[in-house]
Structure 1
Amino acid sequence: MFKNAVQLFEIFGFKLRVDPSWLLIAALIVWSLSTSYFPEMLPAQTATFYTTLGIVAMLGMFVSLVLHELAHSVVARAYGLEIGGITLFIFGGVAELGEEPHTPKSEFQIAIAGPLMSLALAGLFYLASGPFIDGDNIGAIGAVLGYLALINLVLAVFNMVPAFPLDGGRVFRAAIWQVTGDVVRATRISSRIGTFFGLFLMVTGAFAVFGGQGIGGVWQILIGFFVINASSGSYQNLLVKNALRGKSARMLMSDLLWTVDADASIAQLVDDVMLRHGVSFVPVLSQGRLFGYVDTAGAGSIDRVEWSTRRVFEVATPAGPDNMVTPDTPLDEVFKRLGAGTRRKLMVADAGKLIGVISLSDLVHYLALQQEIGTPMKTGH
């Protein structure tokens, strides 16, 4: 999801990554605090002083976001769910679950853990700020701690809005799931609320922009756009997972194959296989066993005048875990692998013997047909 994220360190076995987009929000936070919040709270100080406090407060917010997502991750791991890591990005942070929670109870407890952590942090920062506040006299430490108390409270309250995929939306989904026993229906309802909430944010943000609030309104529009896309994407991902659950590559692979021998010339590959049968992806065999594959890019990498003397094995990509699956590989795993990279076809092999090829188009066509026919989907386990 975050291909450009940089890993900083591990905490309790969870990899903490920061997407470059986080740098933008970090800079905006420092700028806003150093030009508005701290000058108002602590007048008659230097710009350097305000900037320093802004950086300290931003780092405090960074730690708060990490702890919020860490709470989600620890509870998820307790339920045996795979955690891909914790990533901070422009809209906050996300604990990357490798799979959906299996029960309404686990969904509820994983979702509620983050806001509870933020509420606890808000309380701790508020109590810690007390000794540094004397009536209207607020010291630098008090101002920073007060800001962190406020931002954690806002984080907790905002995340508890019952709009999927916010934490509150997941809590709401868990409740519907518990009552109906249908995770797809629960996700559809909470996702629609998430879409309406996103639209609300965008509309009110637009009014704010026209009302002269500038950056605040634009930021609200961006958050609304993110919520809409995330809620819709989460629902579609669940539909895909349910449609593919319990099925393997054997079901959708094509066993009508055009292959080429590793010792054949590139001219034979192009003329007798690719052009004759209209295929651009050709598995390569050597003594009856799978050697790898060759595509049009591989053939085109050799000058045409050398095609009759050069051999297929010279341009073939060897078979390996990144381009090959077994017939028993779950379809959702196949879909994940095909969707994550640039490769659109995978060879299906068993004990070194080629038995088929499965493509992304095969999966997309299957999903489209299933949606069109309206085949009932499993709703969880």
Structure 2
Amino acid sequence: MFQHGIYLLRLAGIPLYLDLSFLLILPFWAWFIGQNLPQYLRLFGLPQDPGLLEGPWPWVLGLLAALGLFLSVLLHELGHALVARRYGVKTRRIILWLLGGVAQLERIPREPAKELAIALAGPAVSFALALGFHLLKTPQGAWGFLSHYLFLVNLSLGLFNLLPALPLDGGRVYRALLALRKPYLQATRQAVALSGALAWALGLFGLLVLNPLLVLIAFFVYMASRTEAEATLLLQALEGLKVRDLMTQDPITLPPETPVAEALRLALLYKVSGFPVVQEGKVLGVVGLEGLEGASSLDPVARHLLPPLLLSPEEDALTAWERMAERGYTRALVVEGDRLIGVLSKTDLLRAFQVRLLGLSNLDRPQEPE
């Protein structure tokens, strides 16, 4: 969903990134809080302290409150990540963005108890922070405002994330509870259906009250829930398959001196979009049609090589799909030791996906009658 963004630091061994949208929303949110500071003080029952409402203080408090909000979001996501680590699930990164934060886990456990624990960890952190700020409240001054504000923020963050809509925590809790007594795919479909209904309701409410942020959140929930359903279907379809099961064996290879014109002729002849380039049994790289635009027909393909993505034949097909998607590869080379034994393309993976969805229990072709 997100690009890596701007790397900031590692927190508990997990890379933290800032999406560009975060750099836009932070100053806006700081300005908004500072601009509405009198209304916040009135809401919290705090005195209209002139010392807080004059000079640079509204903007300083606005910035501190906005930073506190995003720090609360970060701790919420870190809660997910640390509990996931306990169950052997790594977190690729945590990203702060326009609508808060996302902990990108390598996978969502399909065991309902584990998914339930990971999903509840974030709201638990938010509620703990809300309790802490509630106990530390003071009736006046700058800390009085910040403690009241961060209490409200963390309470709202915990409650909002418990809405039963994917990809919010409440949606994962709902799916995990369903999966205790139903197949995981069926539980996901039911959770996605509820997520869509809630997204439409939230979007319509946002339009009625003229709140564009609610409409944006509703759109995000709707699209992300659909992505969740597609990812679950993919997991179901590729489950149990290895790269060896799907790769094209004994692929056509090209020596590095092959002219571009010959590579294009062979691509048309064999209906492929790329070739491994091999010299004396050693893989030098790959050449694909996407890398030959504007190339001279007389150029050797060695001038247009791309670094290959190498896979083991025993690697899970789903892991291979994720690696190819994350790095933008349309094909990968399958090697055993230093020996090239096959090529895996996105076409191979999509074909397996389609066949599995048609209900075939395996990819073996029907035996011909003797």
TM-score, length basis structure 1: 0.85
Amino acid at match of 1:189: Q
In structure 1, distance between residues paired with 2:106 and 2:189: 20
Report whether the alignment pairs 1:245 with 2:239: yes
Report whether the alignment pairs 1:285 with 2:287: no
Q: Which residue of structure 2 aligns with residue 161 of structure 1?
A: 163
In structure 1, distance between residues paired with 2:198 and 2:55: 38
Match 2:248 to one of 249, 254, 258: 254
Tell me, what secondary structure is at the counterpart of 1:179?
A: coil
Q: Please tell me whether the aligned partners of residues 281 and 293 of structure 1 are also in contact (alpha carbons under 8 angstroms).
A: yes
Tell me, what secondary structure is at the counterpart of 1:3?
A: coil
Point out where structure 1 has 5 or more consecutive residues left out of the alignment: 210-216
Written as runs of structure 1 = structure 2, the 5 A alignment for 1:123-272 is: 123-129=131-137, 132-133=138-139, 138-180=140-182, 182-209=183-210, 217-255=211-249, 257-266=251-260, 268-271=262-265
Match 1:109 to one of 98, 117, 126: 117
Q: Please tell me whether the aligned partners of residues 249 and 331 of structure 1 are also in contact (alpha carbons under 8 angstroms).
A: yes
In structure 2, distance between residues paired with 1:2 and 1:16: 13
- Tell me how far 1:172 sits from its aligned partner: 1.6
- Tell me how far 1:374 sits from its aligned partner: 3.2
TM-score, length basis structure 2: 0.87
Q: Which residue of structure 2 aligns with residue 13 of structure 1?
A: 13
Report whether the alignment pairs 1:99 with 2:84: no
Q: Please tell me whether the aligned partners of residues 265 and 311 of structure 1 are also in contact (alpha carbons under 8 angstroms).
A: yes
- Tell me how far 1:268 sits from its aligned partner: 4.3
Tell me, what secondary structure is at the counterpart of 2:165?
A: coil
Report whether the alignment pairs 1:26 with 2:26: yes
In structure 2, distance between residues paired with 1:298 and 1:171: 45
Report whether the alignment pairs 1:313 with 2:302: yes
In structure 2, distance between residues paired with 1:87 and 1:66: 8
Tell me, what secondary structure is at the counterpart of 2:36?
A: helix
Q: Please tell me whether the aligned partners of residues 77 and 83 of structure 1 are also in contact (alpha carbons under 8 angstroms).
A: yes
Q: Please tell me whether the aligned partners of residues 38 and 50 of structure 1 are also in contact (alpha carbons under 8 angstroms).
A: no
The percentage of aligned residue pairs carrying the same residue is 32
Point out where structure 2 has 5 or more consecutive residues left out of the alignment: 42-47, 363-370
- Tell me how far 1:376 sits from its aligned partner: 6.7
Match 2:348 to one of 344, 362, 365: 362
RMSD value, Cα: 2.4
User: What are the superposed Cα offsets for residues 67-91 of structure 1, whole Å, 9 maximum, x if unpaired?
Assistant: 1111111111111111112211111
Tell me, what secondary structure is at the counterpart of 2:341?
A: strand
- Tell me how far 1:43 sits from its aligned partner: 5.8
In structure 2, distance between residues paired with 1:300 and 1:232: 35
- Tell me how far 1:47 sits from its aligned partner: 5.2
In structure 1, distance between residues paired with 2:3 and 2:74: 19
Q: Please tell me whether the aligned partners of residues 246 and 348 of structure 2 are also in contact (alpha carbons under 8 angstroms).
A: yes
Q: Which residue of structure 2 aligns with residue 79 of structure 1?
A: 87
- Tell me how far 1:152 sits from its aligned partner: 0.8
Report whether the alignment pairs 1:64 with 2:86: no
Moved more, 108-117 or 359-368: 359-368
- Tell me how far 1:261 sits from its aligned partner: 2.3
Moved more, 249-258 or 259-268: 259-268
In structure 2, distance between residues paired with 1:334 and 1:112: 30
Q: Which residue of structure 2 aligns with residue 213 of structure 1?
A: none
Amino acid at match of 2:17: R
Q: Which residue of structure 1 aligns with residue 319 of structure 2?
A: 333
Q: Please tell me whether the aligned partners of residues 4 and 20 of structure 1 are also in contact (alpha carbons under 8 angstroms).
A: no
Match 1:118 to one of 123, 126, 129: 126
Tell me, what secondary structure is at the counterpart of 1:101?
A: coil
Q: Which residue of structure 2 aligns with residue 214 of structure 1?
A: none
